[in-house]
């Protein structure tokens, strides 16, 4: 949800047939950064945000014609100061609802780095051992995806 809104921005709500709402006119993407020693980088979402005061991965709306990989890296850079040059793509996982989709892009951090809160969407950023992720109050979408993502990390 970072940045200014332009004609090509995906910053808008999409509504499902049942009235449920999802952020991202062109879908959304998040970046799950994994480091062998530090664990996974999680974001404590601002209270005012959709499903606020929960933990998940940095991410947000895809822009028009933007790939999920590019969107996830852009958003993680904007929200957490994640350095793109230290990342190696591992895999991605897509939840496709037909009218909206969310892609979790999983990357390996080639070197340890300190994440930096760089906008108002984060309360905190933390490296969490995979075994401890379930101990946090997770964003519902991330909570649903985490078991399969964790299995693929191993």
Which string of DSSP letters, residue by residue, matches the chain? --S---TT---SEEE-TTS-EEE-BTBEEEEEEEETTTEEEEEEE-TTSTT-S-EE-SEEEPPTT--HHHHHHHHHHHHH---GGGEEEEEEEEEE-SS-EEEEEEEEESS-------STTEEEEEEE-GGGGGGS-B-HHHHHHHHHHHHHH-
pLDDT higher than 80, residue 140: yes
Over 50: is that where the pLDDT of 57 sits?
yes
Query: All domains of the chain, ordered by start, with CATH?
Result: 13-153 (3.90.79.10)
Checking if the pLDDT of 5 tops 60, the result is no
**Confidence tier at 105 by pLDDT (50, 70, 90):** very high
Residue 3 has pLDDT above 60, yes or no: no
Q: Over 80: is that where the pLDDT of 7 sits?
A: no
pLDDT over threshold 50, residue 1: no
Better pLDDT: 90 or 1: 90
pLDDT of 95 over the 60 cut: yes
């Amino acid at each position: 949800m970072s940045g200014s809104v332009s004609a090509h921005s995906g910053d808008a709500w999409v509504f499902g047939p049942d009235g449920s709402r999802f952020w991202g006119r062109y879908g959304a993407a998040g970046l799950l950064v994994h480091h062998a020693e530090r664990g996974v980088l999680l974001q404590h979402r601002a209270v005012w945000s959709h499903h606020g005061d929960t933990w998940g991965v940095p991410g947000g709306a895809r822009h028009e014609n933007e790939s999920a990989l590019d969107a996830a890296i852009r958003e993680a850079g904007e929200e957490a100061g994640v350095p793109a040059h230290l990342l190696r793509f591992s895999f991605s996982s897509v939840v496709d609802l037909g009218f909206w989709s969310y892609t979790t892009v999983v990357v390996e951090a080639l070197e340890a780095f300190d994440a930096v809160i760089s906008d108002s969407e984060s309360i905190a950023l933390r490296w969490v051992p995979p075994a401890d992720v379930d101990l946090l109050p997770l964003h519902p979408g991330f909570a649903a995806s985490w078991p399969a993502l964790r299995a693929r990390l191993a």
